[in-house]
Structure 1
Amino acid sequence: MVMRVALYIRVSTEEQAKEGHSIGAQQDRLLDYVRSQGWEVAEVYIDDGYSAKDLHRPAMQRLLKDCEQKKFDVLLIYRLDRMVRNVIDLYSVMEHLDKHSVMFKSATEVYDTTSAMGRFFITLVAAIAQWERENLGERVKMGMEKNFRKGGWNGGEPPYGYRLEDGKLVIHEPEAAIVKRIFELYKTKGQREISRIFNQEGLRTRNDALWAGYTVRYILENPVYMGKMRWMYRQGGGKKTNQEIMIDGDHESIISEEDFNAVAILTKKRLIYREKTNVCFPFTGILKCARCGSPLQGGEKKQKLQNYRFYRCSGRFAQGICDIPLIAEDTVEKLMLEQIDFIIDGSWQKEIDIINDNQVATESPDHIQLERELNEIQKRKKKWQLAFANDVINLDDLRIRMQEENEREEIVRAQLISEPFAEKPLSKLTKQDVMAFAKNIKESWYHLELEHKKVIMQTVFERIIIDTYGEAVGGPGRRVPCKIISFETN
């Protein structure tokens, strides 16, 4: 098979005048080389009047794109400095060519991936490029640490309450007043209550987002507000290092050190004395509020005879944007079992998909696991974006985390493509099977452990939209009438 070759030619006006490397001269030399090898010219890429300081050149970008589409088998240049002028760019181009199985050859030098010696030499150059990158990273880190030791700000979005002026943190009074208020309110109120108060007052974060408990917590735990700077607090993945260094910053504090430490002591006391509760709530993650769309989370209050278990809207208690009352767990159970009745008596028969007798391609366990991991990656991406919107992480942290998630996503998608579907027949599922399963749920529901109930709910339901109406009745732990607005099954 005849090798298809791409010719890359570059010259700047100054180089052409000084060195005589005209476009015509380079092209003639390259064509002579192609003829000597018996190759076939697929395309000629010419950057006329462009410097090689980087890869942002029209013909170079077109070449890299055509490489992805396999339009040629070999890239031929006159001399290496016609293509790149630093080892990092060389490594980048070599990596791109290798990824798409394109060889590389210089007509006048030993740069050549068509031979074993040439590939060894390119590998050596790549190693030098990696060393240069790592060395650059160490120098940047040393510079940042030096700046930190002086109490300076190392880039990224300034924390809430401050602005950057000439690279220094300067107090922004409107936000600083809210920071002071947070520390004052925390003496008598919790993080969620503070966020709820702010949201009800119409206050928003710097990015015009609603306040949340973790937004308040981040401010309460950040030593920057008492004039300190911390270094090596978290690793690249967001995990705490437990090896942080704290020094005095060169910025003005918003909170006194005494007040900041008093809040830290108060937080520890609240964690110690906080009531423990059974953390398993079967409908958490499934129930959604019909009024604001927020998830409902399980809670429990101690009573003399029996603890009162309930679900509360996070939009109301965490953000202060909703007014739906607490919903008793036994009320939710009753409504859910009524929905199960529709399956048992056959009312849902039109909505139940029955699998036919034909063999179908089913996903292997590995394939299912990869799909689940993709869903988890998407969820984590949304969480990082939400954390940034609420000033929990800065822009640099967001970029690092999104890059990590994108890299993992590429790996998972590649595995999904290579993972074959398992061809096997599925057992036939009849309407009677579904109805029998529903009947079994209802009969055994009140004998099941909470963990088993949760598994069943997550298996059957994707989402249940619920609302209340009328007045609550009864004594402590009063029940308010409810209705299921809509639901989605799995």
Structure 2
Amino acid sequence: MRIADLYIRVSTDEQADKGYSQRLQEDVLLKYCEINAIKVRKIIFEDHSAKTFERPEWIKLLAELKKYKGKTDLVLFTKWDRFSRNASDAYQMISTLRKIGVEPQAIEQPLDMNIPENKMMLAVYLTTPEIENDRRALNVKTGMRQARKEGRWLGVAPPGYINKTRENGTKYVAIDEPEATHMRWSFEQIAEGVFTTQEIWKMAKHRGLKCSATSFRTALRNVGYCGKVLVPAYKNEEMQIVQGLHQPLISEVLFYKAQEMMDGRVRDIGINSSHGILVVVPDKLPLRGFLKCSRCSRLLTGSASKGRNDYYHYYHCQPSCGCR
């Protein structure tokens, strides 16, 4: 009597699809074994995608089959797409199993691997679901691109906005207070050019902004804040910025003024002729980049410190020097 392990796989997005339930697969496989006098050694349930064989239960099964050779003759599943949705990986896994004396077989798409022509049918069974996956992914990508062209803001909302769903199921982003006020204030501070981005982030956090420094810097570059949507370049289409359907948090003028300040393209700059560099000159730190450190002779920078009631500006050297 031959001995078989039953492999039952269903991915999360297939749970509700007709014909893919684990219970149905189990019933079909058990009836097949009963009719064909096959002894069932164990039943393996997998809830994972078949794009690769990096699946927890399959890895355990394969390790067991290699360790205890001869205890199982067959690995049975309902269809070949339950086994794999990647043709190249599937051929390699079939070869691995046959080397340890185990024959993989789909009971609803049976193939005798000793007949050379059946390898062509196997290719059809394996590549069909792979093509379906690729087509589905392409359709999703095309749909998302079209949605962006129509002004929809996709993905996780940045600080100051929140993801919401309407009654009809469509998703959108809405302004989220008080985070929106903190982000608006941050853009205004960036545009003034008095403080560094890091300093503004710290002050915004003190005001109540819940955002990491990295997310904050990324958010400041997001054109969505002024009511626009970025459509990335794709194939022969160039990158474009379209009018968004969401409510802008700041004006375009303020957004691009902040971008210029972060890029260093600001009007209020001085030129330190002795070093040949551009130096940003805020009103409250007019000598930043011109004064020399009394200890190490490097050019002093400047920043603001939070006091009890206000921010106070100081010239200082690099942290390694400590001159203030």
In 2, the alpha carbon distance for the partners of 1:250 and 1:176 equals: 17
Match of 2:62 in 1: 67
User: Aligned letter for 1:205?
Assistant: K
Deviation at 1:66, TM superposition (A): 1.9
Q: CA RMSD of the aligned region, Å?
A: 5.2
Deviation at 1:87, TM superposition (A): 3.0
- TM-score, structure 2 length as denominator? 0.60
Give yes or no for the alignment of 1:8 onto 2:6: yes
Matches within 5 A, 1:119-268: 119-155=119-155, 157-166=156-165, 167-188=171-192, 189=194, 190-199=196-205, 201=206, 203-206=208-211, 209=212, 212=213, 215-232=215-232, 243-268=238-263
8 Å Cα contact 2:225/2:248 also seen in 1: yes
8 Å Cα contact 1:8/1:75 also seen in 2: no
Match of 2:42 in 1: 45
- TM-score, structure 1 length as denominator? 0.42
User: Aligned letter for 1:131?
Assistant: I
One of 92, 102, 118 as aligned partner of 1:98: 92
Check 1:127–1:107 CA distance in 2 against 1; reply closer, same or farther (3 A cut).
closer
- What does the per-residue CA deviation read over 1:50-91, in whole Å, with 9 as the maximum and x for residues that have no partner? 999988xxxx975652213414477636xxxx6144737533
In 2, the alpha carbon distance for the partners of 1:263 and 1:131 equals: 46
- What does the per-residue CA deviation read over 1:400-436, in whole Å, with 9 as the maximum and x for residues that have no partner? xxxxxxxxxxxxxxxxxxxxxxxxxxxxxxxxxxxxx
In 2, the alpha carbon distance for the partners of 1:250 and 1:90 equals: 41
Check 1:198–1:123 CA distance in 2 against 1; reply closer, same or farther (3 A cut).
same
Structure 2 counterpart SS, 1:91: coil
8 Å Cα contact 1:187/1:263 also seen in 2: yes
Deviation at 1:275, TM superposition (A): 7.2
Check 1:303–1:309 CA distance in 2 against 1; reply closer, same or farther (3 A cut).
closer
In 2, the alpha carbon distance for the partners of 1:18 and 1:196 equals: 62
Give yes or no for the alignment of 1:24 onto 2:29: no
User: Aligned letter for 2:85?
Assistant: Y
Deviation at 1:274, TM superposition (A): 8.3
- The alignment covers a number of residue pairs equal to 269
Deviation at 1:128, TM superposition (A): 2.9
8 Å Cα contact 1:232/1:244 also seen in 2: yes
Structure with higher helix content: 1
Deviation at 1:226, TM superposition (A): 1.0
- What does the per-residue CA deviation read over 1:360-417, in whole Å, with 9 as the maximum and x for residues that have no partner? xxxxxxxxxxxxxxxxxxxxxxxxxxxxxxxxxxxxxxxxxxxxxxxxxxxxxxxxxx
Matches within 5 A, 1:40-439: 44-46=41-43, 65-69=60-64, 70=66, 71-72=68-69, 76=74, 83-85=77-79, 87=81, 89-91=83-85, 95=89, 98-99=92-93, 101-103=96-98, 104-106=103-105, 111-113=111-113, 116-155=116-155, 157-166=156-165, 167-188=171-192, 189=194, 190-199=196-205, 201=206, 203-206=208-211, 209=212, 212=213, 215-232=215-232, 243-270=238-265, 303=292, 308-309=297-298, 326=317
User: Aligned letter for 1:83?
Assistant: F
8 Å Cα contact 1:183/1:220 also seen in 2: yes
8 Å Cα contact 2:87/2:123 also seen in 1: no
Match of 1:40 in 2: none
Deviation at 1:231, TM superposition (A): 2.0
8 Å Cα contact 2:191/2:257 also seen in 1: no
Check 1:160–1:12 CA distance in 2 against 1; reply closer, same or farther (3 A cut).
closer
8 Å Cα contact 2:78/2:106 also seen in 1: no
In 2, the alpha carbon distance for the partners of 1:304 and 1:54 equals: 61
Deviation at 1:251, TM superposition (A): 0.9
User: Aligned letter for 1:225?
Assistant: Y
In 2, the alpha carbon distance for the partners of 1:259 and 1:129 equals: 50
Structure 2 counterpart SS, 1:308: coil
Structure 2 counterpart SS, 1:68: helix
Structure 2 unaligned segments of length 5 or more: list them: 9-20, 166-170, 277-288
Structure 1 unaligned segments of length 5 or more: list them: 32-42, 236-240, 279-299, 332-467, 473-477, 479-490
